[in-house]
Structure formats: structure tokens, C-alpha cells
Structure 1
Amino acid sequence: MPGPLHGLSVLEFAGIGPGPFCAMVLADLGAEVTRLDRPGAPPRDPRDVALRGRHATASLDLKRAEDVERALALCETADALIEGFRPGVMERLGLGPDSVHARNPRLVYGRMTGWGQHGPMAHMAGHDINYIGLSGALHAMGREGQPPAPPLNLVGDYGGGGLLLALGILAALLERGQSGQGQVVDAAMVDGAALLMAPIYGMLARGRWQPGRARNLLDGAAPFYDSYACACGGFLAVGPIEPAFFAQMLRILGLPEDAFADRMDPARWPVQKARLAGAFAARTRDEWAAAFAGTDACVTPILSMAEAPQDPHLRARGTFQEVEGVVQPTPAPRFSRSESLLRRG
């Protein structure tokens, strides 16, 4: 069957980062996404995975009145629109929500910005690192005594940005089924990054999170939630938080449980981490991966981007596919009756 969003028409005003990622997610799920590019834009490079799945492309010079009219005409039959310009740009072009809704009041108008449509910083430039920095997320990431470590641009651009814009568009479309009216979705990466931190803010409020880096259960301080180096120079992801899982890990490592009886005491964590580090350093990553395979010890190899598509579990699930000669993640999540064209192909 076609994807669950089959029949949904989306216009994407060309941009970079979270806007195209949002469009990719919608296209992955079956939406017909038309990308409106600037004149002279190069043809799609199949290696640019975030641009996959577009139904069509059109070249529009939005400084020309006739091309603005063409864009408005396309909006008349679209279900949703994605734009990622700074606040006020689309209004100045004659393509703001009021102009578009005058032609199609049912259209859902998705706006992707870093700082949002209003606020003192709304018109400032920024990137992922700035948005996650202001939201409190970046401060919590990294090793103690070192500067905060950027988690690529996954938290602001893609998790807090593109994915939440896709969610907002779909929510507005669902509401449209009741009201018959479209609306504007204001997706700001700084808002999204803050939202992703909701569980951590909850832990802070309950006194279960200490300010600073590498002082808490999930930030690399605990011996049972960190990465460890192996004899070969590779690394393992170690996360047996629960007592039974931790005990299973110790048995495979050949370490006595009584040496870790007080493992929830942060004062003991440095000594316990050193003990675990010494044990993991005695063998290679792949030797440990084989030893922990099929167990509940929550110890798995840390794979490179070149290695991950070859992992037996990911191969069995089809988590990666080769499309146009490019290895790339397949669409997620999965549906019992509907499949994306990429996954089916």
C-alpha cells in the first residue's frame, strides 16, 4: 500500500537544515512534496539524503511578481507549506500566511525558524549550537572540566526543529478535519530543544539532577552509563542501569558484585568506573560484542557510520538501504499496512 500520508500535498520553499528534513520525513511517509527552488539551483544530488522523495521541483524567482503569483497558485491546491526564512521575509514577498490563506484557507502554514516568529532574538541569525545553548540542553552535555560538547546538530535542527515541525503540521491537518480551517505552525528550534529537555528539567525539579557536566545518572558520570575504550581502540556503549542487567554485565566481565554493592552512590563512581575501564580495555571491541551478544547486559559496540549499515540486526530490519548508489537510513517509523516507497523499493 502507499504510505500513510498518500494524497497529502506539501509545498517546500527551498532552504537548508530542518526545513528539508521535515519535508523528507513527510515524503518518506507518502506525502507528495514539491520543492520550490531558486533559479539556478543545481539538480538534486542523490547523495543529499535530506532531499529524497520529492514529488517534483519548480524554479521560482520570488523577487518577480509573476513567480510569486505562480507560488500562490500552487498554494491553492496544497494541504501544507514549509518555509524556513527569517520572520517577515515571506510577508514582504507577498507569501505570508494572510496572503496564502486568502487563496486557500484550508492550508496549514508551517514555519521553521531558530528563535521563533517573535521575541527579542527573533530576527537574529543562529545555528543549532546557539539554540541548544540557550535552552539549557548544551550546558548538560560533555565531560567534567571540559567545554560542553555539541551533539552534532541533532537536537536543535532535526529533533527539536524538523521533526517537531512535521508533528505540528500533522496535528494542524488533523484539527483541520474538524474545523475545516488551516492555521500557522510556528516551530522554533529553541522551543523544540527546550521541549526535548523536559524529562531532565523534571529530574532537576525533583532534586535528581545536579547542575554541571558528568555528575548525573545519564550524562556519563555513572559507571553503568558511559562509553568505554577497548584494547583495539574501539569503544563500547555500556548502559545496564537496572540491577539485574548490571549483575549480568559483571558476570560476563568476571568482576565481583560486592565491589559494586554501592553503585548508586556518586562518591563511589570514579573508583568503579576505573575498575570497569580496566576490564573493558583487556579485550577488543568485537570480542566483547560477541561475549555480550544475546544478553540483557546492555553492552553493545559503538559502530562508525561505515560499520552501522553492515550490522546484522540493522541488516535484518532493513534499517539502511542503498538508493541511487547511496547508503542511507530507511524511513521510520513503520506501519502495519502502509509503507513508504523507499522502504518498499
Structure 2
Amino acid sequence: MTDLPTQNGPLSGIKVVELAGIGPGPYAGQLLADMGADVIVIDRPGGALVPKAIDARGKKSMVLDLKKPEAVAALLKIVETADVLIEGLRPGVTERMGVGPDVCHAMNPRLIYGRMTGWGQTGPWSHMAGHDINYIGMTGVLNAIGKDGQPPVPPLNMIGDFGGGSMFLVNGILAALVERGRTGEGNIVDAAIVDGTNSLMSFVHGMAGLGQWRTKREANLLDGAMPFYRCYMTADGKFMAVGCIEPQFFAAMMDRLPIDKDAYGGQHDRTAWAKQHEMLEDVFATK
């Protein structure tokens, strides 16, 4: 077990047990550690699943083979005084190991038991394999990103794993800690990436319900359809990100570009957008 300097922050004094995993669970633990929590990662024998520099900042590490009863007993001893436990294993795995929420809460009723899955703990897809691209594909996020007429572009794993997963898990854990301050009781935070990602789409779903969003790519305000909200290639092979939705910002851009305003046309004239795209592409390609 490696000792690290004591951290200060809003979660100083909060003890978190993190069962080793990859992606959204460890990142959630990282965020809690960054806020001052004392995070202990329970690693498997044989080393960590990912290089420790990625998501181990400020954390401690303990190696336990949870296939052995004595290791499970050691983990439960730690859980007795913990505030939060984070696990991102397949549904039912921690229960089979003997460290599920019922067992842990019997030993520590104040524990916040945080769970991270792709499809949820129950349901017909709960045991199905998946990655970020699958979760965001099912929610419509993936369909909205990319060039029209071409395959959607995966936005790394930021939206599903870390946006719909880690952020919602941390949000739930922090809310449970606040609630525990009132009731003295722990809770289970069940975060499913597909649910969190679908929540991130609320704005788009709302606009679609008002008839202001189309499922066709490059046909909407924020997906590259509008000449004033997209990226343009520059002369050195890099790109300029242009985002001037508000009329005063659009006017400021036009004042600085060598473009004939009358030939360009109105900012929101859809019939002129194809021409405007070309005009801006030509200008940005010169510098």
C-alpha cells in the first residue's frame, strides 16, 4: 500500500474504495480524489488494468485477490469505515464475490455504494457486452455527429463513458452524501451509461419535439450545417473553429474577413448557406 500526501478539498475526510476497472469508474474515482477524497484502489494481482498515470492521481493502491475468502474479508474490513464504494463490474459479479451492496450495507449502513454499468443492472441487455460507441449509438448521439451521407464519427469515448457514465455516477454519489448528512443512511447509486447519455440528449430531444431539430446530419444549428458554426481548414493543414451564433459575434467576424457582405448574404438565409460555406472555406484556406 502506497501512502500519498494528504489532500485538501471539499471531500477531505471522505474515504472511497474503488474496485479496479477501466474507463468511467476509475475516472469517477479520479474526480472524487481531485476534490480531496481519500481514494483506495483495490487492484487485482498482476498489476493494474491500465497505466497508473492515467487515472490514479492522488489515489492509494492495495492488491487483493477477491477470489480468495481472506481477501474478501480484508476488503469488507475496509468497507466498514468507508464512505463510498465504486464498482464497475458486470451485473451480479460483486454479489457473487460476497461484496455486493446488501453485504456491505449490513456492515456499514452509511456506505454510498456506487455502481457503473453500460446497460443497467437489470433488463434484457444488462449482461450484453458494449463499449462507448454502442451506448451512444442506441441513444441517437452517434447518429447526430459527422458528415451527411457518410458514417457517423465516434467522438472518442467522451460522451458515453465519461459524460453519460462518470459524470452521472459522481453526481449521484455527491447527492447521496448530501442526503446521508440529513438521514445518516447510505444508498445505492446505480449509473448506467446508456441512461446518462440519453439524458445528455435532452436538449436535442426537446428541440426535435418543437420541430427545431432534424435527424439528418449537417442540418441543424450545432452539427456543422451553418457556416458560422463549424471548422475550416487553414493554409497550414490545421483548422479554425468558428462559433459565432449571436448576431453581434457574427458581425464581428464579418468585419474582420475580406468578404463582400452583400455577396455573402444574410446570416440565417438557408438558401445561401452552400455558397457561404465555400466563401468561408476559401478565406480561411489563405492563412
Q: Shorter-normalised TM-score: what interval?
A: over 0.9
The CA deviation at 1:2 is 1.7
1:23 matched to 2:29? The reply is yes
Does structure 1 conserve the Cα–Cα contact (< 8 Å) formed by 2:13 and 2:37?
yes
Letter paired with 2:110: R
Residues 100 and 213 from structure 1, CA distance in 2 versus in 1: closer, same or farther, beyond 3 angstroms? Answer: same
* CA distance in structure 1 between the partners assigned to 2:276 and 2:54 by the alignment: 42
SS at match of 1:30: coil
The CA deviation at 1:52 is 1.3
The CA deviation at 1:88 is 0.5
Work out which structure has the larger RCO, using CA pairs closer than 8 Å and 6 or more positions apart in sequence.
Answer: 1
Unaligned runs of 5+ residues in structure 1 are: 284-345
Letter paired with 1:18: P
SS at match of 1:236: strand
Answer with 139-148 or 256-265: which moved more: 256-265
Letter paired with 1:161: G
Does structure 2 conserve the Cα–Cα contact (< 8 Å) formed by 1:247 and 1:257?
no
Q: Deviations over 1:143-202 (max 9, x none)?
A: 001101000000001111112111110101101111111111010110111111111111
**1:278 alignment partner in structure 2:** 282
1:81 matched to 2:85? The reply is yes
Answer with 37-46 or 75-84: which moved more: 37-46
Letter paired with 1:247: A
* CA distance in structure 1 between the partners assigned to 2:48 and 2:191 by the alignment: 28
* CA distance in structure 2 between the partners assigned to 1:90 and 1:103 by the alignment: 15
The CA deviation at 1:261 is 3.8
* CA distance in structure 1 between the partners assigned to 2:220 and 2:13 by the alignment: 47
**2:161 alignment partner in structure 1:** 157
**1:195 alignment partner in structure 2:** 199
Aligned residue pairs total 281
**1:214 alignment partner in structure 2:** 218
* CA distance in structure 1 between the partners assigned to 2:251 and 2:182 by the alignment: 53
Letter paired with 1:236: M
1:63 matched to 2:98? The reply is no
Letter paired with 1:74: I
SS at match of 1:155: helix
* CA distance in structure 2 between the partners assigned to 1:237 and 1:21 by the alignment: 28
**1:340 alignment partner in structure 2:** none
SS at match of 1:110: strand
What is the TM-score normalised by the length of structure 2? 0.95
The CA deviation at 1:103 is 0.1
* CA distance in structure 1 between the partners assigned to 2:176 and 2:21 by the alignment: 22
Unaligned runs of 5+ residues in structure 2 are: 1-6
* CA distance in structure 2 between the partners assigned to 1:260 and 1:177 by the alignment: 59
RMSD of equivalent CA atoms: 1.4
1:100 matched to 2:99? The reply is no
